[in-house]
Structure 1
Amino acid sequence: MGDTCCTPFSLGVFKDFVEKQIPGVYINSLMIGNSVVEDMENGFFMYANSQVDYACAKVAEDPKLRNGFNAIGFSQGSQFLRALVQRCGHKLGPIRNLITLGGQHQGVYGLPHCGAYQHATCDYVRRLLNYAAYYGWVQKSLVQATYWHDPLDEVTYKRYSEFIADINNEREVNVTYVTNLKSIDHFVMVKFDNDSMVQPRETEWFGFYAPGQATKVLGLRDTELYIKDRLGLKAMDKAGKLVFLSQPGDHLRFDRQWFIDVILKPYLLN
């Protein structure tokens, strides 16, 4: 959100950093659209499901990825990349490790930089957003609405969320989603302990508010999604495929040496 694939001051820097750490590595930093400007705009306004379809096609046509690859997603790109794995992973080269940093895997219910969860103004504004988030035209025209998850009305969320409720198998179970996700070697999730952008922060580890309120947060293993294993996460956990990592900073703030030691060496040098 608000970033692009290739700018030299953000993901472009990260791409150069990894290329220096792994000489000869091939990195496809996906551009959603025909220019850097389109890529940034599409992060706000291109229908999330169309973005995933677009990305699936771009990866499928890249001959350098056909023998397999690792996938790294940042912030909202995390859940979009997971959707790519689930929806079209069987049509691509083997996906070895899915690594997400600051992703919103159970969606969000809150406003960036809005302070304490119980602040009255924050709650009022998010209720206003909640009023319109599930309208069809909003789902199709505002990316962030597609992963807005209202814990106060789970019925409406599951019925009208056109992206996050679908990829989390919260309606009918899509077996392809389960099979494709379980086929990867590891699903690595990085949570930022002082994240001021994402509410609740636990969504970065697939946790979320307990249904019916917006105060108590459940860890992944206490959620219905895990207990009923609708997405295969419980089976993956038992197989040692789920990896939970954390960093003490704000959203997407991490030390390069930490990344080398904890992510690059164990999961990208294989």
Structure 2
Amino acid sequence: MYLVKSLIILLFSNSILAVSNTLPVVLWHGMGDTCCLPVSLGAIKKLIEAETNGTYVRSLKIGGNIALDYESGFFIHPDDQVRYVCEQLARDTRLTNGYNAIGFSQGGQFLRAVAQRCSTPPMKTLITLGGQHQGVFGLPKCPSLTSTTCEHLRKLLRRAAYKEWMQRDLVQATYWHDPLQEEEYRQKSSFLSNINNEVFINQTYIDNLNKLEKFVMVMFLNDTIVQPKESQWFGFYSPGQDTIIRPLNESPVFEDLGLNQLDRDGRLIYLSVEGDHLQMTSKWFIENIIPQLSTN
């Protein structure tokens, strides 16, 4: 009887030890990707679950099926996607006490918009992998599309990025940042200039962003997709040219979004990894991203 009781106590103790203390994780995929397929974020979801003793991981699906989720990365305006995600997260009772958010490529700036616009449930840590926080000026080698389609998109964006119909119908136009047309970008960008507080200062964006425990930005050092790659750390071309990069701490966005306060507090974290866009090993992810996740 004593042996049985001891085994029960041991099993119960082990089950307690196995319970994850990592807050739930929300994932948002990038352009040309999907939420849940094994060759997509489905693999990342399983990896996080395995490395955190089974913490709850929600990989966001925009729309009712995988096809719509894939198309959303190109054709559903970010404002509509962010609104939809905010509603979905607010209904998820497993996120009530807070969650970690990991955004891949454009999913990074979309999750940042969630942090700024929707404070319930509370996002604790935001991690962006290859996010285009200051936008892009060029679409070379874009994934999941033929080179002909890529080139066609690039030409369209340069000629018509700030046309109303383009801003409405093509996701990538909403974070197209032309440094040669800086004022037009600020006034006609239908998403990025807003979430970067470049049109007017939205104090709610600043307050909500500063509720984060950590904001981790990952730049891929050999990135040929995000132009310029420094956008992943909020760097971008100085206005009027497309050669010299202005770092975040010299950009108006640094103060206008309250990132300077996060930086002073040591909550703004810069990470980098060798490789092209989103090219990282499981080992690197486990060693560098998993430890950044907030816990209970």
Q: Which of 71, 82, 92 does residue 62 from structure 1 map onto?
A: 92
The aligned counterpart of 1:117 is: none
Task: Give the superposition deviation at 1:136.
Answer: 1.1
1:119 matched residue in structure 2 = none
Counterpart among 199, 209, 219 of residue 237 in structure 2: 209
Query: Cα distance, 1:127 vs. partner?
Result: 6.2
Query: Contact 1:74–1:101 (CA<8 Å) still a contact in 2?
Result: yes
Please report the RMSD computed on the Cα atoms of aligned residues, expressed in angstroms: 1.8
Q: Does 2:264 align with 1:244? A: no
Percent of aligned pairs with the same amino acid: 52
Equivalent-residue separation in structure 2 for 1:86 and 1:97 (angstroms):
13
* Mapped contact 1:109–1:126 kept (Cα < 8 A): no
Partner-residue secondary structure (3-state), 2:271: strand
Q: CA deviation at 1:128?
A: 5.0
Deviations 1:70-96 (A, max 9, x none): 00000000000000000112xx12211
Assess, with a 3 A threshold, how the Cα gap between structure 1 residues 123 and 13 changes in structure 2: closer, same or farther: closer
Take 1:176 and 1:125, find their aligned partners in 2: how far apart are those partners?
34
**SS at 2:126's partner residue?**
strand
Alignment of 1:147 with 2:175, yes or no, is: yes
Classify 1:241/1:207 alpha carbon distance in 2 versus 1 (closer, same or farther; 3 Å): same
For 2:63 and 2:133, locate their aligned partners in 1 and report how far apart those are by CA, in whole Å: 24
* Counterpart-to-counterpart distance in 2, 1:13 and 1:131: 38
What is the alpha-carbon distance in structure 1 between the residues aligned to residue 161 and residue 40 of structure 2? 29
1:4 shift after superposition: 0.6
* Distance (whole Å) between structure 2 residues aligned to residue 210 and residue 187 of structure 1: 24
| 1:105 matched to 2:138 | no
Alignment of 1:17 onto 2:43: no
> Over alpha carbons, which structure has the higher Rg?
2
- Quick one: distance in 2 between partners of 1:11 and 1:147? 23
CA distance in 2, matches of 1:130, 1:235: 35
Which of 251, 255, 258 is the matching residue for 1:223?
A: 251
Give the drift of 1:224. Answer: 2.2
Partner of 1:254: 280
Of 114, 118, 121, the match for 1:84: 114
1:26 matches 2:52: no
SS at match of 2:63: coil
Partners of 2:43 and 2:170 lie apart in 1 by 28
Q: SS state of the match for residue 98, structure 1?
A: strand
1:199 pairs, out of 203, 217, 227, with 227
- Residues 38-71 of structure 1: CA distance to partner in whole angstroms, max 9, x if unpaired? 0000110001110110110111110100111100
Alpha-carbon contact 2:215-2:269 (below 8 Å) kept: yes
Post-superposition offset of 1:131: 2.3
1:233 aligned to 2:263? no
Q: Cα deviation per residue 1:209-252 (whole Å; 9 max; x = unaligned)?
A: 000001111111121222xx100011111111100000010110
Q: Distance in 1 between the 2:59 and 2:165 partners?
A: 29
Q: Contact (CA 8 Å) 2:124, 2:294: kept in 1 or not?
A: no
Structure 2 length-normalised TM: 0.84
| 2-structure distance, mates of 1:264, 1:134 | 38
Is 2:204 the counterpart of 1:176? yes
Paired letter, 1:78: G
5+ residue gaps, structure 2, are 1-30, 143-149
CA distance change for structure 1 residues 35 and 79 in 2, over 3 Å: closer, same or farther? same
Q: CA deviation at 1:111?
A: 1.7
